[in-house]
Amino acid sequence: MSEELLRVDGIDAAYGQSKILQDVSLSIDRGEVVSLVGRNGAGKTTTLRSIVGILTPSAGTITFEGEDITALSDYETVARGIQYVPEDRQVFPDLTVDENLRMGELKSGGAGALSMSEVFDRFPRLRERRSNSGAQLSGGEQQMLVIARALLGQTDLLLLDEPTEGLAPQIVEDVIEIIETISDEGVTILLVEQNVQAAMSVADRHYVINKGQNVYEGTTEELRNADEILEQHLGVGGEMDLSI
């Protein structure tokens, strides 16, 4: 039996007078990897910020583990096991990898949280580079670092905002592999991507949004064949390379 972990039900969200999301809905079962894809400015980050509680929706509800979390702050959602990795990779450039991870220990602990040594076991590359400064890491290593830092807190739901952005194809594959491993360990994942190939290579189901509204929902197989959606809302045509 599948168990619903997160339900976003008809939310509206705005920045001041600018209405951004209109009636956005999605749901994720425990253990799933679900993607939220769409073009620049579609409202992907705003949806994640609403789930986390950085932004409070003006309408609709968000339910997590059966409880209404619509009005909770980010502190409160983190304490419930929702970890958010923002798109701008907030690595502290002057701190070492070790120190960057220790910043994550502020929210550490809780059921299923990884310890520092477990984090290094999962990410051997970070152990090798633990004394290097954040500024000395490659883009892929920085992405590993921010994902690792999130996992120091109790993680029932991991929200990843464009983890593959700006990375070379080989490194995109590494990040996808990390996401697969985390998923295999039982973490439910909502993956925001503009890279639809990457999203299709790792997620089970997909939501497409455009101009702050849901426009499509389907499995990987369905999306792969939804030519119009791919062209209109995701900017990918028939020549798409789905080999990753």
Ligand X SMILES: Nc1ncnc2c1ncn2[C@@H]1O[C@H](COP(=O)(O)OP(=O)(O)OP(=O)(O)O)[C@@H](O)[C@H]1O
Among 8, 33, 35, 45, binds Mg ion (CB under 5 A): 45
**Nearest residue to 32 via CA among 209, 222, 203, 224:** 203
Task: Kindly tell me which of 21 and 72 has the beta carbon lying closer to ligand X.
Answer: 21
- Cα 200 → chain centroid: 14
Is 37 a binder of ligand X (CB under 6 A)? Answer: no
Shortest distance (Å) from residue 91 CB to ligand X? 18
- Scan residues 171-200 and list those touching ligand X (CB under 6 A): 194
Q: Which stretch binds ligand X (CB under 6 A): 41-49, 76-84, 100-108, 217-225?
A: 41-49
HEC secondary structure over the chain: CCCEEEEEEEEEEEECCEEEEEEEEEEEECCCEEEEECCCCCCHHHHHHHHHCCCCCCEEEEEECCEECCCCCHHHHHHCCEEEECCCCCCCCCCEHHHHHHHHHHHCECCCCCCHHHHHHHCHHHHHCCCCEHHHCCHHHHHHHHHHHHHCECCCEEEEECCCCCCCHHHHHHHHHHHHHHHHCCCEEEEEECCHHHHHHHCCEEEEEECCEEEEEEEHHHHHCCHHHHHHHHCCCCCCCCCC
Is 35 a binder of Mg ion (CB under 5 A)? Answer: no
Q: Which stretch binds ligand X (CB under 6 A): 39-47, 123-131, 224-232, 234-242?
A: 39-47
Q: Are 233 and 39 in contact (CB under 8 A)?
A: yes
> Per-residue contact track with Mg ion, 46 to 85, x per CB under 5 A?
----------------------------------------
Q: Which stretch binds ligand X (CB under 6 A): 14-22, 56-64, 120-128, 231-239?
A: 14-22
**Nearest residue to 7 via CA among 54, 47, 45, 55:** 47
Among 11, 33, 44, 198, binds ligand X (CB under 6 A): 44
Is 35 a binder of ligand X (CB under 6 A)? Answer: no
Is 38 a binder of ligand X (CB under 6 A)? Answer: yes
Shortest distance (Å) from residue 203 CB to Mg ion? 17
Q: Which stretch binds ligand X (CB under 6 A): 43-51, 72-80, 99-107, 233-241?
A: 43-51
Q: Are 33 and 189 in contact (CB under 8 A)?
A: yes
Is 15 a binder of ligand X (CB under 6 A)? Answer: yes
Among 42, 176, 229, 234, binds ligand X (CB under 6 A): 42
Among 5, 8, 11, 20, binds ligand X (CB under 6 A): 20
List residues near Mg ion by CB under 5 A: 44-45
List residues near ligand X by CB under 6 A: 15, 18, 20, 38, 40-46, 87, 194
